[in-house]
Each structure stands twice: as C-alpha cells, then as structure tokens.
Structure 1
Amino acid sequence: MPPTALARQHNDPSFPSVWEELRWRGLVQVSTDEEALAAALAGGPITAYCGFDPTAPSLHLGHLTQLLVLRRLQLAGHRPLGLVGGSTGLIGDPRPSSERVLHTKELVADWVAAVRTQVERFLDFEGPAAAEMVDNLDWTAPLSAIDFLRDIGKHYRIGTMLKKDAVAARLNSEAGISYTEFSYQILQGYDFLELYRSRGCVLQTGGSDQWGNLTSGIDLIRRAEGAAVHAIGTPLITDSEGRKFSKSEGTAVWLDPAQTSPYAFFQFWLNTSDADVVSRLKVFTFLTREEIEDLERTSTERPGAREAQRRLAWEVTALVHGDAAADAARDASAALFGTGDLASIDEGTLEAALAELPRAAGAVGDRLDVLLVASGLAKSNSDARRAAAQGGVSVNNRRVDDEDAVLTEADLLHGRFAVLRRGKRNLAAVVPG
C-alpha cells in the first residue's frame, strides 16, 4: 500500500471494539455466534485469514472489501494472514451457472504472484501484529490422494455438501457439476484446518456468497480437532440492478491500473448514487464515524455539491493507487468537467480520461464543425457551425466562436489530443487518426 495512505489509517475512537466498528460499517451480514466472536476479538490478539483465488491477473472491487476488513482487524491488534490460492485457483470455486475453465499451472502461478503483490500492499508486515502471506499449494501439493481422502474427506458428509448454494444450483442446471468443482469446499475447509493447526488461526472472512465454503472449514475443525472457530461473511457490493461487481458478472472494477485506470477507478466512485455513498464511505474508507456523519449531513443538506462522493472517490483511489494518482484523477475530472487547465494533466491520466468519452479521429487542419459531427456532438455541419457562432463550442476549455475554425498545432495536448465541448456537459475527444 502507498505509505501515505497506510499512515492515514487508524483505529476509530468512536468504537469500544473492532467488532462494534465492523458492525457499524455494515461489514457483517452473517457470522458465527456473535457473542463468542465479539469476545474472541476483545479478548486479545487472534489470527484471522482471508483467501484470494488467482482466477485473473488482478483482484477487483469485491476483493477490496476483504482486504480492508483484514486491515481493520490488524489495526485493532489482530494478526492477518493473506492466503493466495495456488491450489484452489487450479480447481475453481463453482459458479451457480456453469463450469469454470481450468487454466494452466504456469498461468495460475503467474497470477498467484500478481495477486500476492496486490494483497501485500494493504497489510503491514512489521510489528507485533505483523501480517503473513501464505499459499495453499504449499500444503496441498505434497498431499497424496489417499491421504486426502483418509485424513480430510472422511470428515465430510455428502448430504451437507449437496446443500451448499452453488452446488445445489449447479445440480439443478443442465451443466451439472464436476467432481473437481464439487471438491472445492473440501479444499477450502482444509485451508482453515491447516492454518488453525500451524498458526492458531481462528477466524476466516469472506463474502456472504462464500458462506458455504466458510462453514466448511468450521465444520472440519470441529470434527477433526474438537475446536470452535469463527467466520464473518460480508455483504456483497452490488450495482443499482443488484449485480455484484465481479469478473464472472462482467462488472469487475479492477485494482490493477493496467485494467482499470486510476482515472476510471476515481470516476466509478465519483458516480456513486446518493443512496449508496454513506455505506460506501463506511466500507471502503478509514474515515472516522464523525467524519462520515458530517459528510452524510452535507449530502442531505446540499446533495448537488456531491461532497461525499468527491471525498469517497479520492480516499479509495488513494488507498489503491496512492495520493499522487488520486490527485491526478481528481484534477483531470475537474478540468474535463469544469474550467481547469487540461494542459496541466499528465499524458497517461489524460489518455485514460479521454478513453471514457466519445471520440473522433482528427489532425491539425481539420475543421472543427466536421470533428463535432464525427464525435456526435453535432447532428450536422450546419448545426456545429451554428453552435460555434453562438459561443457554445470550446476546445480544451477555450471558447471558439469562429464557425470556420480548424484544429491547430497549439490545440493538441501532449501533441496528440484535444477536448471538444458543446454546452456545459457534452464532451468528446479528438485523437490521432
């Protein structure tokens, strides 16, 4: 994690315990016995883990919730384990709809390295609550099939396994389910057992859609060790239509800047609805209760100012990409949709911002009315010329009132781009042809 963002994180003095804070932030949708879990978190440092399967070269928004839960636990003095699923990533958590594609071992190994680096940025690996990274391939690979069936499989009951939501959905579908994916819950349960035995881990966190897999480990530890451990299932973060933001849903917001640029990431949070902004502030920022309640009042009293959304966008972008990237994204957004200096925006951020706009291919000497039509900002050349004559057209936030104007060398930002505007909010990019 960028050092400046890490330094801003702290315990919120408004809460007597991390359990109360997790509940206030809406991070507990389902859990094991609340009283016992609250007592465990209040009784001294414990070890907790969350697993991240390498099903892509990057984590996404759904994983960010878990990363921040681990970080909150660490700030409260508990020890987090970040597990990257080198073995479970080779199998695949069963989806409700269809069988996953099995990737090569070499590709999964590459993704393990990439995901591990991302997880490490959100945890502190020094001090009394130092985090540790683990890979479940380390204890799964040496295990023979016979040992796995004798030592682990004997504790599982088929009837219970069939009741898991994802398994039940697949059994009732045309696709069915392979034994490979059916066995996933055993592998995840074994992870919890191994971490309990080797590191004293007594808490696992995950999305509420993973509850069946979370309880798999709880049941296995109870049967194999006679011990009680805990799990927390967090609510899924969904869009306005109730779809979770994930790779499988095609709605992923990636943490890798090469897949979702910092500017696009910033804009995602900036576009949060008024109905969702307070809950997003609670889940995805380390602002205190007092700060969030102040923003909630501002949002209610002056919704048009969108102060809560702007703070949310900056805070989360800074957590994931660093302060400098958050500043650049904020400045680019202000310049595009206000009167800021577009020339001051660095080339990479500007290019990412323009990728979000309608565009037209253009070069020095092209007529602006032609470019306005090509970009969709005008219906016809006469419409474009009339808009310019009326003062309704600008290039790079500079008004152009000459209906015969052409694109000049001076208009090209970084020698490549220009931004057309019609009216206050209608924008388009001119890019090299």
Structure 2
Amino acid sequence: MGIWEELEERGLVNQVTEREGLKNQLNNGQLRFYCGFDPTGDSLHIGHLLTIILMRRMQLHGHQPIALVGGGTGMIGDPSGRNAERSLNEPEIVEGFSQKIRSQLEKYLDFDGAYGAEIVNNHDWLGSMTLISFLRDFGKHFSVNYMLAKESVESRIQEGISFTEFSYQIMQSIDFYYLYKNHQCTLQIGGSDQWGNITAGLELIRRLEHEDAEKSPAYGMTIPLVTKADGTKFGKTAGYAIWLDPEKTSPYEMYQFLLNTDDRDVLKFIRYFTFIDQKEMKELEEKMQTAPEKREAHRRLAQEITSFVHGREALNQAENITKALFGGGKLTALTADEIAQGFKDVPSYTMEAEEQNLVDLLVQSGIAGSKRQAREDVQNGAIYINGEREQRTEKTVANDDLIDNRFIIMRRGKKKYFLILKNYR
C-alpha cells in the first residue's frame, strides 16, 4: 500500500490541489513538505498532534519534513478559525515561545539520514523585510477581492478585521514561496482552516515562478478538523486544553483524557493518531463489539499517543497511577513522581511536626471541619491513609507513613483525596 492509499484509508485527506499529481509524487517520488506552527503560546497542544503525526508518517515513507516555527507570523496572528482579533505579544515573548515550540517539535521527527527533518523559523526572512519590499515584491500579486474571498477573512468582515490580520495570508504565502525557492519544498500541509492560506501561497508561487512551477509543481493538502461525536473540538476537557508540555498536562492526565474517549470516537482517533495497522484495528473493533467493558481500544489509543508524546517511561508511570487509583493496585507502590502526577490537582497540606495525631491533622489540613467531625469520620471508617482504612482516633501520623519518603495520601469517603507533604528540616 502506498502512502497516499494509507492516508485515504485513515481518513486523513481532506482538501487537496491536483490530487493525481500529488498522489503520484507521494507514492512514487520523494518530496519536501512543510507545516507551520505559530508560537501563540509556550506549548503545542493535542490539537497540533495530528499534523505532527502526519509529518512523521510521511517521513517514514521517504519524504522529508520541514517544520516551520512562525517566529515572524506569530508576531501578527492568524485570523483563521477565530471570530475576534488576537492580542499581539511582545517580540521577546514570541521569541521565547518559538524556542519552546522548536524544542517540542524536535522530539517527534527524525533529523538524521536521507529523509532527515529540518526546522526553520520564518522570522529569519520575514523579520528583515522592509515595508516597501513587502508591498512591491509581494503585495502587488494579491488583489483585495481575492483576499476578501478567503473564508478566514470573509467570516470576519461583519465583526471587523485589522489590516494586520488581513495581511497574514500574504505572509504565509511568502513562507511557501521562500521554502519552494530555497528549500525545494513542493507541498504544504495543514488543518482545514489553513486551506485559504495554502492556496494563496500556491498562487504566489505560480505568479513568481512561472516556468519552474510548471516543471516542479507545488501542492497543498489539508487534514480534517478533528471533532468529537458531540460536535465539540477534540483536545479540550472541562474547558482546559491538553498540552504536549508535561509540565502543563502530565502524561497521566493525557492518558486519562484519552482513556475516557467516547466509544463513538475511539476507532476514528486510532486511525488518525496512531501507527496501528489495519489488522490490529479490525481486532480492536471486534473486541469493542464482543467485550466493550474491557475498553481495549481505549487503552490502546491512550498507550499509543501517550508513548508517542512523552515516551515509554512516562506511559509506564501513567499506567501505574491508573492501576493504583482504579485497578486495585496499592498506592504504596507508587513513586513520588507518580504521586505528584496523579494527585496534581488535589488539595495539599504540609505537616510541620515530625509526628501528629490523626484527628488534629485532619482538622489542621482542612480535611475535617472540627475535631468532633474528624473523630466521627475516623470511627465510621471514612478515613484512609495510603489506601488503608484507619479507624483509630489515637493514631499518630509519622515518617513511617510516608510514601517514597515524601507523601502521605489521605482519603475521606470514596473520592475525596488529599495530599500530605512532609516538611524536612
């Protein structure tokens, strides 16, 4: 099976220019292609992951990816997919974001060998451009009518769009032209919201490189917008984005997010986001029908993506935490790092004394509202220390209760967890 057939089978081909020409190039030739990532924050999120995995998938089939960090376009802001103007970040902030995005992208692509990836920053060519050269060399090739017809602009006409964001499509077009001219890049890929920007770049290449564009045509392709069965955008949970930076979204949080994928979405996401072959996908589909309670497909989705993003060791940690919390495992088997991940958002309290009576600790940490309530909770079996029920009001909490010499996990009732930290002095 050629790469084109694989992409179509996985449902990854959305809009495409000159389908047969691109199909032939992907299946029978070698091409350089690029995807851009604007540094609008200090981390990529899971919404960027599909294009990253597509880049890796194409690289494995012998094509050379160019990851473009938009240090220049990131100073402006893409109006695509937005109904309001972006806030402009200061240059030093954009530069800091660019460095972080670059370091993330370096984790996912192979930079060695004949198909080794490149990373470029469009600030290198956009940042030194003068206003006059921008208008004379490039602006004259774009009619206002052509630009107004682009969906990203047309959808903003009623609410208003600044000339700054209106010019974004010209800047991204310059990127494609620059990479075509200087890096022999003949394909741009992106999300479906980038279609207008991609086709604008192709038009600029045709205008500026008449003969070369006929001999070595350029192409554009988008992937589908990834939505969940309920119609909402993939990558958000309770209003929060799932980030690729483990400091912002831990591997355990990512694993749990994926493990809880809607049954209606899981097979589609496996096709999109994993390298699992058709044979195993068919087996997972059969298991969903015969033993849905085992959630084999959900677990494979969570395993594949968490491992791709964070590595095998982080996946092992996520699975250890999941087993300890939901699969009958022991909390005391967790490491301090795993506890820090699994209990990242639970209330915490630092115990100052070397040892402390349990009833007093429950009150001082805010787990119980009064000593009377604390004693009743203990006596009624509602208090657990590191997963074990404790019903002795005279119990002294001390160093022996620490997990990995750092944490004590307290639980009140079935689901209310608290983290007790030991203060070392």
Alignment TM-score, normalising by the size of structure 1: 0.86
Say whether 1:31 aligns with 2:31: no
C-alpha distance in 1, partners of 2:87/2:392?
A: 57
Note if 1:116 corresponds to 2:108.
no
Q: Find 1:413's aligned residue among 377, 396, 403.
A: 403
Q: Tell me the residue number matched to 2:128.
A: 142
- Tell me, yes or no, if structure 1 residue 196 matches structure 2 residue 180: yes
Indicate if the aligned counterparts of 2:62 and 2:115 stay in contact, CA closer than 8 A.
Answer: yes
How far is the alpha carbon of 1:238 from its aligned partner? 3.2
Aligned residue for 2:187, secondary structure, equals strand
Deviations 1:191-242 (A, max 9, x none): 1111111122111111112211121112222222233422221122335653
Rounded Cα–Cα distance in structure 1 between residues aligned with 2:396 and 2:150: 64
TM-superposed CA distance for 1:412, in Å, is 3.1
Partner residue of 1:242? 231
Aligned to 2:260: 271
Query: Match of 1:78?
Result: 63
Within the alignment, does 1:57 sit opposite 2:42 as a pair?
Answer: yes
Query: In the alignment, is residue 335 of structure 1 matched against residue 321 of structure 2?
Result: no
Give the aligned partner of residue 4 of structure 1.
Answer: none
Q: 2:140 aligns with which of 132, 154, 161?
A: 154
Tell me whether 1:398 sits opposite 2:388 in the alignment. yes
| Cα distance, 1:84 vs structure 2 | 0.7
One-letter amino acid of the structure 2 residue matched with residue 229 of structure 1? A
**What is the rounded CA distance, in whole Å, between the counterparts of 1:302 and 1:326 in structure 2?**
24
Q: Residue type matched to 2:377 in 1?
A: A
Structure 1 pair 33/406, CA: closer, same or farther in 2 (3 Å)? farther
More off after superposition, 181-190 vs 91-100 = 91-100
Structure 2 residue 160 is the aligned partner of structure 1 residue 170: no
Residue 404 of structure 1 and its aligned partner are, at CA, apart by: 6.8
Are 1:217 and 2:188 counterparts?
no
Task: Give, in angstroms, the shift of residue 143 of structure 1.
Answer: 2.3
Q: Deviations over 1:77-131 (max 9, x none)?
A: 0111111111101111115222111111111111111111111111111212111
In the alignment, is the contact (CA less than 8 A) between 1:369 and 1:403 conserved in 2? no
CA deviations 1:345-375 (Å, max 9, x no partner) are 2222211211244x3647442339957x955
Residue 427 of structure 1 and its aligned partner are, at CA, apart by 4.5
Alignment check: 8 A CA contact 2:336 2:407 kept: no
Whole-Å separation in 2 of the counterparts to 1:291 and 1:321: 23
Q: Is the CA contact 1:204–1:232 (under 8 Å) kept in the aligned structure 2?
A: yes
- Choose the corresponding residue for 2:84, options 95, 98, 109: 98
CA separation of 1:235 and 1:365: change in aligned 2, threshold 3 A:
farther
Matched, 1:22 2:7: yes
Matched residue type, 1:252 = A
Amino acid at match of 2:281: I
User: Structure 2: 5+ residue runs without aligned partners?
Assistant: none
1:206 aligns with 2:221: no
Deviation digits for residues 288-338 of structure 1, max 9, x if unmatched? 121222122212221111122222212211111111111011101111123
Q: Is the 8 A contact 2:336 2:406 kept in 1?
A: no
Work out the CA distance in 2 between the residues paired with 1:163 and 1:72.
33
2:249 aligned with 1:260, yes or no? yes
The one-letter code sitting in structure 1 at the alignment partner of 2:245 is: D
Give TM-score scaled by structure 2 length: 0.87
Is 1:180 the counterpart of 2:160? The answer is no
- Contact 2:192 2:222 (8 Å CA) reproduced: yes
Which residue in 2 is equivalent to 1:322? 311
Which of 345, 348, 357 lines up with 1:365 in the alignment? 357
Counterparts of 1:387 and 1:307, CA distance in 2: 38
Partner of 2:285 in structure 1?
Answer: 296
Contact residue 54 and residue 112 of structure 1 kept, 8 A:
yes
User: Conserved in 2, the CA contact under 8 Å of 1:90 and 1:108?
Assistant: yes
The alignment-based identity, stated in percent, is 42
SS at match of 2:222: strand
Match of 2:377 in 1: 384
Three-state SS of the structure 2 residue aligned to 1:142 is coil
Q: Deviations over 1:163-196 (max 9, x none)?
A: 22232222211xx111111111111011111111
2:297 corresponds to: 308
AA of the residue aligned to 2:181: R
Whether the 8 Å CA contact 2:37–2:69 is kept in 1: the answer is yes
The CA distance in 1 between the partners of 2:43 and 2:56, in whole Å, is 19
Rounded Cα–Cα distance in structure 1 between residues aligned with 2:320 and 2:88? 42
Aligned residue pair count: 410
Determine if contact 1:48/1:81 at 8 Å carries over to the other structure.
yes
RMSD: 2.9
Query: How far apart are residue 406 of structure 1 and its match?
Result: 6.2
Amino acid at match of 1:384: D
